């Protein structure tokens, strides 16, 4: 019979197709080669499993590991890395690990959240957040210039993809869509050549490529999100 370590694990991911936060978890699971069941949620009619698994935020992604819920995408990625040791996502060295966590948090606070705000705002409020977003991109460009070169294509270093790559990866598929829908521009190959090179390499990674979404489908979805937040429907 199977030993303890070999016992069958139940891994379930509650998600929604258009979420960059969910996509990160799919990338982390695929990177580790972990089998999982994907359950698509209806966020207009959340399942009781979602509500009981993530009672505080009631958001996806939720990872259920043998029935235990883990929430918040960065927490989930760290959990996956701690539980399944193959193909480490975070660096082994404590200082490198701390630096990876620093950049992941920077991306989350200064880029991911700001992009979300820029999508659902207009006028002066949007101008302010887009300015902050551009400044954050410049800071990230500096880190990319320092860290990446012809031999080191990813923030994960010699091992290839790592924590920062998985956390940042959504920009390759989502930012262009959100820029179009929100009517602003933050990514510019002239201004962030290293980030653009990284993006070009990231989308070609065999485990990433098939998971990228068609732009047209996302534009329609994010237009609805923007309109819902701005109440444009009500004004019509
Ligand atoms: N900080 C969270 C963000 C998750 C999030 O915002 N999920 C959205 C989908 S993209 C959601 O479930 N929204 C449902 C709601 O706000 O009711 C994470 O990193 O997991």
pLDDT one-digit tens code per residue, 62-113: 999 999 999 999 999 999 999 999 999 999 999 999 999 999 999 999 999 9
pLDDT at 8 over 90: no
Query: Is 3 domain-assigned?
Result: no
Same domain, 162 and 208: yes
Same domain, 54 and 170: no
pLDDT in tens, 127-178: 999 999 999 999 999 999 999 999 999 999 777 999 999 999 999 999 999 9
Percent pLDDT > 70 in the chain is 94
State the distance from the centre of ligand 1 to the C-alpha of 222, rounded, in angstroms. 14
User: Ligand 1: does its nearest atom lie under 6 Å from the Cβ of 221?
Assistant: no
Query: Is 2 domain-assigned?
Result: no
Same domain, 54 and 115: no
Nearest CA to ligand 1 atom 1: 72
So what's the pLDDT on residue 9? 87
Return left, alpha or beta for 169; rule: phi > 0 is left, psi -120 to 50 is alpha, else beta: alpha
Structure token pair of residue 160: 């290839």
**Ligand 1 atom closest to Cα of residue 61:** 20
State which of 37, 53, 83 marks the end of a domain: 83
Q: How many domains in the chain?
A: 2
CATH number of the domain within which 50 lies: 3.40.30.10
Query: Is 88 domain-assigned?
Result: no
**Ligand 1 atom closest to Cα of residue 76:** 20
Domain ranges, residue 202: 94-230
Q: What is the mean pLDDT of residues 197-220?
A: 96
Query: Is 14 domain-assigned?
Result: yes
Structure token pair of residue 142: 């500096």
What kind and span of H or E run contains 21?
Answer: helix 20-32
Contacts 24+ apart (CB under 8 A), 172-178: 172/199, 172/202, 172/203, 172/212, 173/20, 173/23, 173/203, 173/212, 173/213, 173/218, 174/20, 174/115, 174/218, 175/115, 176/215, 177/215, 177/218, 177/219, 177/222, 178/115, 178/118, 178/119, 178/222
């Amino acid at each position: 019979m199977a030993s303890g370590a070999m016992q069958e694990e139940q891994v379930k991911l509650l998600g929604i197709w258009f979420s960059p936060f969910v996509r990160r978890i799919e990338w982390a699971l695929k990177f580790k080669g972990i089998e999982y069941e994907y359950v698509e949620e209806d966020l207009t009619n959340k399942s009781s499993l979602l509500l009981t698994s993530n009672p505080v935020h009631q958001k996806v992604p939720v990872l259920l590991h043998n029935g235990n819920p883990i929430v918040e995408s960065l927490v989930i990625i760290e959990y996956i890395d701690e539980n399944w040791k193959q193909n480490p996502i975070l660096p082994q060295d404590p200082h490198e690990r701390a630096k990876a966590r620093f950049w992941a948090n920077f991306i989350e606070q200064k880029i991911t959240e700001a992009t979300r705000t820029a999508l659902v705002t207009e006028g002066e409020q949007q101008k302010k957040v887009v300015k902050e977003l551009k400044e954050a991109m410049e800071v990230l460009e500096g880190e990319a210039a320092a860290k990446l070169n012809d031999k080191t294509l990813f923030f994960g270093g010699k091992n290839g993809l790592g924590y920062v790559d998985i956390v940042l990866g959504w920009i390759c598929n989502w930012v262009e869509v959100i820029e179009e829908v929100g009517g602003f521009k933050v990514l510019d190959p002239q201004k962030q050549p290293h980030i653009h090179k990284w993006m070009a390499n990231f989308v070609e990674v065999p485990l990433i490529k098939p998971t990228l979404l068609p732009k047209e489908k996302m534009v329609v979805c994010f237009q609805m999100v923007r309109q819902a937040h701005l109440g444009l429907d009500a004004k019509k």
